[in-house]
Chains A and B, each alone.
Chain A
């Protein structure tokens, strides 16, 4: 039997297979070089990048919850110029597609980031983060108001020729409203979900565990929310979706594809099992073989009724 076709075309963003690593969970890729055959990954969404370097939040930045974790890193990163000068040259020779996740406090900053990131060779797409719950300015606010979300997407799409992925926040009443707004504003792809806003309290000290008080919940605990939102958004817009949120193995990944995602991104699972992305690529292929499909595209949205 022929091997099924795992290639994916997301509005012009070509991938060898539908498996990405999610931003903030895989560094710049190199960190996992010893565990993973990086060339086999479809794409790497690198750590959230800002115009200026950011120190991030004080510690503790992480807390465990039932089948999940909370983080409040606060976008610690070396800044876009450092990324372009020092990091990109080291990762651009890998076969994976490099997606730069960008975060900003103002529309103008998003615009400047888009301009800067569109010049160098080796960036395949921009992921616009309008949904970080861990920064004071901008952050989540951009992702919860359809007009503001659209404003950011317009500013980015006007200043780049790269495919634009908009990463949506699940911390909204109606996810389809935001999805439609970013579609109209010119986004090429949608990725969802970012973390859910959560909190954990140390009952002995009687105070919040995270120095930032609240953080973003990720891991298998949030998976049903992600599946539901992908299912809804897939029916509300015509854009391809990259689904993420608590995918731990290939069966979870297939669930996201069936819900309407054309590709998936693996986040927190990398911490638990650094080899997980390789297992997921193999597992998706096995699933397609077992069920007699010729390509991964055939199962996208198949569970929608």
Chain B
């Protein structure tokens, strides 16, 4: 059951030049949350920007009643969010979205995050570890400073490999190259991924060549977050004249099977 609620900001810390980690006290929501879901956040106090911002749940702790959001400052909304101080309240709606489908989990799982796209994957990794799965995390970023959560991942019992575009950490190049290498080397039957569209498209082509189940978390410009406004739709393959229909990222997603979505750049 989703709610509109004001949570207390416990921390809102800058991690690098553009990314922030926001901790919210939300005991009323935390029990409902699944990894891959998001909160719709009223970033500032006024009417400009008018719309909320969908921000994925990065981590959640049911014992402490806390939810962590990890976000990158892009525009007016996230700029205002970055200025919100600990001790103040934040108006959120949630939990929203379908979350990752964990009903049929394989034992060896690959998790692939590109840039800020890793945000929703941390809660997933923690869940998979809790379920005793063998997890390999592949993390990509433009440069070393933008690699997220490596310290936290190193403390978990998961494999971790990183790639940066400029080679300042890990392998030089895109994270998708790491994915190819990993899949050539080892057998994975299940992949979870979130990142920029070109990365997801590259991941998608692996579905065909390797016959692997890949769940991807997508991002779209969103209006209401409840499925009413139909702004945030994505193309999903169906057998009709056009070969697709639109599904709502907010309520049908944001997680989709990579094999079913059509990714336009």
Q: Mark B40-79, 1 if CB is under 8 A from A, else 0.
A: 0010000111111000000000000000000000001000
For residue A120, CB closer than 8 A to chain B, the reply is no
Describe A's contact surface by its main secondary structure.
Answer: loop
Residues of A within 8 A of B121 (CB): none
How far, in angstroms, from A62 to B220 measured CA to CA in the complex?
10
Closest 7 CB pairs between A and B? A27-B228, A62-B231, A31-B228, A271-B224, A31-B226, A31-B227, A34-B2
Counting chain A residues whose Cβ lies within 8 A of the other chain, the interface size class is 35 or more
Residues of A within 8 A of B47 (CB): 67, 219-220, 248, 272
Residues of A within 8 A of B50 (CB): 64, 67-69, 219-220, 268, 271-272
How far, in angstroms, from A63 to B221 measured CA to CA in the complex?
8
For residue A118, CB closer than 8 A to chain B, the reply is no
Is A272 a contact of B51 with CB atoms below 8 Å? yes
Is B51 a contact of A76 with CB atoms below 8 Å? no
- In chain A, positions 21-48 with a C-beta closer than 8 Å to chain B are 24-27, 31-32, 34-35, 47
For residue A112, CB closer than 8 A to chain B, the reply is no
For residue B3, CB closer than 8 A to chain A, the reply is yes
For residue B86, CB closer than 8 A to chain A, the reply is no
Is B93 a contact of A274 with CB atoms below 8 Å? yes
Is A270 a contact of B221 with CB atoms below 8 Å? no
For residue B207, CB closer than 8 A to chain A, the reply is no
Residues of B within 8 A of A27 (CB): 226-229
For residue B4, CB closer than 8 A to chain A, the reply is yes
Name 11 extra pairs, CB < 8 A, besides A35-B4, A47-B230: A24-B230, A25-B228, A27-B226, A31-B224, A35-B2, A55-B245, A59-B264, A67-B50, A219-B50, A270-B228, A275-B4
Is B230 a contact of A56 with CB atoms below 8 Å? yes
How far, in angstroms, from A62 to B47 measured CA to CA in the complex?
17
For residue A60, CB closer than 8 A to chain B, the reply is yes
Residues of B within 8 A of A34 (CB): 1-3
For residue A296, CB closer than 8 A to chain B, the reply is no
The one of B3, B93, B229, B245 in contact with A25, judged by C-beta atoms closer than 8 angstroms, is B229
For residue A66, CB closer than 8 A to chain B, the reply is yes
How far, in angstroms, from A164 to B123 measured CA to CA in the complex?
51
Within the complex, the shortest CB–CB distance from A3 to chain B, in Å, comes to: 26
For residue B130, CB closer than 8 A to chain A, the reply is no
How far, in angstroms, from A94 to B45 measured CA to CA in the complex?
33
For residue B258, CB closer than 8 A to chain A, the reply is no
Interface size in chain B (residues, C-beta < 8 A): 33
For residue A15, CB closer than 8 A to chain B, the reply is no
Within the complex, the shortest CB–CB distance from A239 to chain B, in Å, comes to: 28
For residue A144, CB closer than 8 A to chain B, the reply is no
Given A56-B246, A272-B47, A76–B226 Cβ distance below 8 Å? no
Residues of B within 8 A of A114 (CB): none
For residue B233, CB closer than 8 A to chain A, the reply is yes
- In chain B, positions 1-53 with a C-beta closer than 8 Å to chain A are 1-4, 42, 47-52
For residue B104, CB closer than 8 A to chain A, the reply is no
Residues of B within 8 A of A270 (CB): 224, 228
Residue with the greatest number of chain A CB neighbours at <10 A, chosen from B2, B3, B50: B50
The one of A71, A248, A272, A274 in contact with B226, judged by C-beta atoms closer than 8 angstroms, is A274
Closest to B93 in A: A274
List 29 contacting pairs A-B, 8 Å CB cutoff, sorted by A. A25-B224, A25-B228, A26-B228, A27-B227, A27-B229, A32-B228, A34-B1, A34-B2, A35-B4, A35-B226, A55-B242, A56-B233, A56-B246, A60-B220, A62-B232, A64-B49, A67-B50, A68-B50, A71-B229, A76-B246, A219-B47, A220-B47, A248-B47, A268-B50, A271-B50, A271-B229, A272-B42, A272-B51, A275-B4
For residue B173, CB closer than 8 A to chain A, the reply is no
- In chain A, positions 59-107 with a C-beta closer than 8 Å to chain B are 59-64, 66-69, 71, 73, 76
Closest to B75 in A: A64
For residue B196, CB closer than 8 A to chain A, the reply is no
- In chain B, positions 72-127 with a C-beta closer than 8 Å to chain A are 76, 93
Within the complex, the shortest CB–CB distance from A255 to chain B, in Å, comes to: 15
